[in-house]
A and B are shown apart, each in its own frame.
Chain A
Amino acid sequence: MSDRVFILPLWIRLWHWTNAALILLLTITGASLHFADPKLPLVPFELSARIHDIAGLALAALYLVFVVANVVTGNWWQYVPKPGGFVERCKNQIVFYCWGIFRGAPHPYPPTAEANFNSLQQIIYWIVMYLLMPILIVTGLIFLWPDFAPKRVMGMDGLVPVALLHYLTAVLIVSFMIAHIYLGTTGTKVSSLFKMMITGWHEH
């Protein structure tokens, strides 16, 4: 009977898609800034800079909302890796992606209202949301107000480490995004998980 379970409140879904749209926009404009070259088919530099600045500020604000809402609703608990066989559960999940999934085996840890992330998701989402995103946002904000950058670092302009860190975390987040979108197709049907992120209902 209960092959449907409601696991995602509206605010999480709204946050998720706004976040996704902003990151996509930031990726396209960020790449256009970084690889700026009149010979490449990129978004024009001036336009990229303007969009990137606005979208970056929006993402920073959204992140603040995300953190506050997580604390207020208690949703942060979902991200915390739970003891008692955590490594074991991660292993099972990896084995599933490397083998079981090809044989049509069921998901080892299907989401429930109490625990909607599996252990692998917990650890990776935790790293992405609470480690990489803050680094990306802080370096981005320094880029916007370069007076806060150190004056000089190892004989180079102080903005150099800020820029390298911003670029590096951006690359990691874009890599995550690609894998993340792909894993979205691993539901019961290819479209199930995308539907879940819109309606909030998970179909087993």
Chain B
Amino acid sequence: MNQPLNRRTVGAVLLLFAGLLATSPAGAQTKGAAPKDPETIAQIQAWNGECLACHTEAALHKPPRPGMDIKALSEALTDPAKYDRSNHAGMACKTCHVGGYRDWPHKGPAQAVPGKAETLDCNECHAQKSWHVDAQVAKSVHSKNLSEKFTCSTCHDPHVYQTAAKLKEPAKIVAQDNGMCLSCHQSDEKFAAFGGKLTPAKKRPDIDAIHAWLPNTKLHWNAVRCVECHTPVSPTRTLAISHEILGKDKAQRDCVTCHSQDSALRTGLYRHVAETESAELGFLNSAVLGNSYVIGATRNTHLDRFGLVLIGLVFAGVLGHGLIRILAALGRRSVK
């Protein structure tokens, strides 16, 4: 009951803290945004260095301090290289991890989900986006039975996630976004941690078997995202794909949504590339071509014209020839 309250007070304190840190006018940027001035950057690097002294792979082999719970630590590692590429790069760890995490040994109330109450929620900094997304997540299949456990960070690792606009390369976007879904839907262990708690316990269906009707299934997993078929287009323009994951009965099975000239890939996966597309060498949807040949969507208009003209000429030739043969035969008959 007092946890949300707790979080709000902590958030308010942090607001002040972040406000002090920010050099540009407050309100113009997201709370906790990475600073631009070298001094503050150095300060944040020093702070984060303290955390990373323990929270990386290397620390497991050479613990910086005695008396640490190595097993617990082994489940609480971060990858600084990935963090530096993420959308949250440059932020101080303790901007999000507050309270007991700021010092070590970490102290704080015993919690069902460790650390949860002392880590800021996404909506504390992304109020507007969260407002839209929250409503969509609430309608999603995962919220029907699992709304308590299914939070933003279940899918988004805030230390790793990069938006499509930042990643740019479709192959990388696909790998990241499908990785979110497959981390559960291809892992009996993680799936059971969520679905196993339901009554009756939900068994993980095999993803490839469910989609056996989709030819080259593995090829599709590398070329297209789960959300392309499992979510409607977002009603909010700034967010291309809705967070509302539909039930299996509403999933997209019509191949021509992608395999056609007006491919949905244009507004989905390729929306960031399609804007800069030029009709190179007569290919339709040429933005897709660097990554995939998609039957029906990336055909070449020059070759199409060549094919149709050739077949048309053969047809016309054959018809003409036949007509002359008939006329000539009639002529010969009347001469006889």
Q: How far is the CB of B29 from chain A (nearest CB, A)?
A: 37
- Assuming the A-B contacts A37-B260, A46-B255, are A164 and B303 also in contact, with contact meaning beta carbons closer than 8 angstroms in the complex? yes
- Check B296–A45 contact: CB distance below 8 A: yes
Q: How far is the CB of B309 from chain A (nearest CB, A)?
A: 10
Q: How far is the CB of A49 from chain B (nearest CB, A)?
A: 6
- Check B255–A49 contact: CB distance below 8 A: yes
Interface of chain A, main secondary structure: helix
Residue interface bits A150-164, CB-to-B below 8 A is 1, else 0 = 000001110110111
Chain B hits for A159, CB < 8 A: 292-293
- Check B215–A53 contact: CB distance below 8 A: yes
In whole angstroms, how far apart are the Cα atoms of A68 and B311 in the complex? 31
In whole angstroms, how far apart are the Cα atoms of A172 and B259 in the complex? 24
Q: Which bucket holds chain A's interface residue count?
A: 35 or more
In whole angstroms, how far apart are the Cα atoms of A50 and B299 in the complex? 20
Q: Is B290 an interface residue (CB 8 A)?
A: yes
Q: Which residue of chain B lies nearest to A171 when distances are taken between CB atoms in the complex?
A: B307
Q: Is B213 an interface residue (CB 8 A)?
A: yes
Using a Cβ–Cβ cut-off of 8 Å, how many residues does chain B contribute to the interface with A? Answer: 39
Q: Which residue of chain A lies nearest to B313 when distances are taken between CB atoms in the complex?
A: A175
Using a Cβ cutoff of 8 Å, how many contacts connect chains A and B? Answer: 91
In whole angstroms, how far apart are the Cα atoms of A104 and B335 in the complex? 13
Chain B hits for A50, CB < 8 A: 215
- List which B168-215 residues lie within 8 A (CB) of chain A: 213, 215
- List which B94-133 residues lie within 8 A (CB) of chain A: none
Chain A hits for B307, CB < 8 A: 167-168, 171
In whole angstroms, how far apart are the Cα atoms of A97 and B315 in the complex? 16
Q: Is A33 an interface residue (CB 8 A)?
A: yes
- Check B256–A182 contact: CB distance below 8 A: no
Q: How far is the CB of A97 from chain B (nearest CB, A)?
A: 8
Q: Which residue of chain A lies nearest to B299 when distances are taken between CB atoms in the complex?
A: A34
8 residue pairs, one from A and one from B, having the closest CB atoms: A36-B296, A45-B255, A102-B328, A159-B293, A171-B307, A182-B318, A175-B314, A160-B293
Interface residues of A, Cβ cutoff 8 Å to B: 33-38, 45-46, 49-50, 53, 97, 101-104, 146, 155-157, 159-160, 162-164, 167-168, 171-172, 174-175, 178-179, 182, 185
Known: A34-B295, A45-B254, A162-B293. 4 other contacts (CB 8 A): A36-B295, A38-B256, A174-B311, A178-B314
12 examples of A-B residue contacts, CB within 8 angstroms: A33-B296, A36-B295, A37-B296, A46-B253, A146-B219, A156-B289, A157-B293, A159-B293, A160-B289, A162-B293, A163-B295, A175-B314
